[in-house]
Amino acid sequence: MKIGIPKEISNSENRVGMTPAGVLELTKLGHHVFVQSGAGENSGFDDEDYYVSGAKILPTIDRVYEQSEMIVKVKEPVEQEYDMIREDQIIFTFFHFASNKKLTEAMMKSKAVCIAYETVEEDDGSLPLLIPMSEVAGRMAIQQGAKYLEKPVKGKGLLLGGVPGVPPGKVLVLGAGTVGIQAAKMAAGLGAQVTILDVNMNKLRHVNDIMPSHVVTEFSNEYNIRKHIKTSDLVIGGILIAGARSPKLITRDMLKEMQPGAVIVDVAVDQGGCFETTRPTTHEEPAYIIDDIVHYCVSNMPGAVPHTSTVALTNVTLPYVLKLAENGWEKACRDDNALARGINIVNGKVVCEPILEAFGWKEAMA
């Protein structure tokens, strides 16, 4: 199959859809890979790296779309790309159709086969192509939180790990899912005292089994949250209720109970956040202060570490890319339920229920 890797042109996206290692796996099997010149440079891969893995480097994005039967990307196509996409071309990327009607209509019109990373779903309900970004964000949350505890950025002036003779800081992690576990692990590694809260006892049992003894689990309820925020230096928001906005576990009045200069990192900001005072920020201006509490609420945390994020993402997308390249999308999706759930649009029709529901098209069809 002919596979194309365009450079991402959406605003401040530095990741790329495939690494040179992925290209090598495809070219070894006899597939042709076309990489746009400069596509990987912000992730630390230059044209030469792709070339030695067997890719053909093309100068423009139009040429990549023109030559390829399948496009592998990171972000949803932007308007400039709509007309480059053609009938029966496979587009494998994050789409998030339900929040973008214009994109949905453009892809229906193109009659391309749109397979969305975010809806590739295993039989147990897990989302294998979303997990790595939560892992990156969970680990980064501690790195960023530790930094914002420093005085020059208005934190309380505390070294999270402490030093001999000075106790380490206290970290409260809300949610013991992917983000929460990675955050707890990093905080524990720095020597901080960590408490992790969840409403799911099985998650807490798992954390209790795998973490060192200075990571303590407790059930998540208002009583426990109020108790812990009084003494916590850093609070991480890592909760998720699938398909719903995050409940506000920490309300504005609760900030007054926290210590001035304490830091909140709300990773769940992309679902509305679990603090009442959360509002989405960017890497250009990541933090703001309300009631003396530093808030870090970047909605695209992995964007700051494109090298790690690209490799982490492509580690999990490549097995699906190989299946699509070897078998074509119809057989690949017949053989793999998770991949089949990734199909969002085919033959100009939306085949994914939540997208139909989001636009009220389900009722219209009934």
Ligand X SMILES: NC(=O)c1ccc[n+]([C@@H]2O[C@H](COP(=O)([O-])OP(=O)(O)OC[C@H]3O[C@@H](n4cnc5c(N)ncnc54)[C@H](O)[C@@H]3O)[C@@H](O)[C@H]2O)c1
Site residues (vs ligand X, CB under 6 A): 133-134, 137, 174-180, 197-200, 203, 220, 238-241, 247, 249, 267-271, 299-302
Q: Is 239 assigned a ligand-binding role in the annotation? A: yes
Q: Is 43 assigned a ligand-binding role in the annotation? A: no
Q: Is 134 assigned a ligand-binding role in the annotation? A: yes
- Residue (77 or 238) nearer to ligand X, CB: 238
Active site residue 96: yes
Q: Which of 62, 270, 292, 307 is catalytic?
A: 270
Q: Dihedral of CA 126/136/73/245: which sign? A: positive
- Residue (36 or 277) nearer to ligand X, CB: 277
Minimum CB–partner distance for residue 174 and ligand X (Å): 5
Query: Dihedral (C-alpha) 310, 173, 257, 270: value to the nearest 10 degrees?
Result: 40
The encoded tokens of residue 248 equal: 């506000």
Minimum CB–partner distance for residue 184 and ligand X (Å): 11
Q: Answer yes or no: are the C-beta atoms of 7 and 38 closer than 8 Å.
A: yes
Active site residue 335: no
For residue 23, which of 46, 44, 52 has the smallest C-alpha distance? Answer: 52
Minimum CB–partner distance for residue 1 and ligand X (Å): 31
- Residue (52 or 201) nearer to ligand X, CB: 201
Q: Is 279 assigned a ligand-binding role in the annotation? A: yes
Q: Is 268 assigned a ligand-binding role in the annotation? A: yes
Q: Is 78 assigned a ligand-binding role in the annotation? A: no
CA atoms within a 13 Å half-sphere pointing along the CA-CB vector of 294: 25
Name the packing angle between helices 306-335 and 20-28 (round to 10°).
30
Using left for φ > 0, alpha for ψ between -120 and 50, and beta otherwise, residue 197 falls in beta
Q: Which of 46, 49, 96, 292 is catalytic?
A: 96
For residue 272, which of 301, 303, 237, 302 has the smallest C-alpha distance? Answer: 237
Name the packing angle between helices 131-148 and 178-190 (round to 10°).
40
Q: Which residue is nearest to ligand X (CB)?
A: 177
- Residue (89 or 144) nearer to ligand X, CB: 144
Minimum CB–partner distance for residue 300 and ligand X (Å): 5
Name residues whose C-beta falls within 8 Å of residue 287's C-beta, 6 or more positions apart in sequence: 148, 153, 281, 294, 295, 296, 297
C-alpha span between 69 and 64 (Å, rounded): 10
- Residue (174 or 229) nearer to ligand X, CB: 174
Minimum CB–partner distance for residue 271 and ligand X (Å): 4
Q: Give the residue ranges of the annotated binding site.
A: 15, 75, 134, 198, 203, 220, 239-240, 267-270, 279, 298-301
Q: Give the residue ranges of the annotated binding site for NAD(+).
A: 134, 198, 203, 220, 239-240, 267-270, 279, 298-301
Q: Give the residue ranges of the annotated binding site for substrate.
A: 15, 75
Which residues carry out catalysis?
96, 270
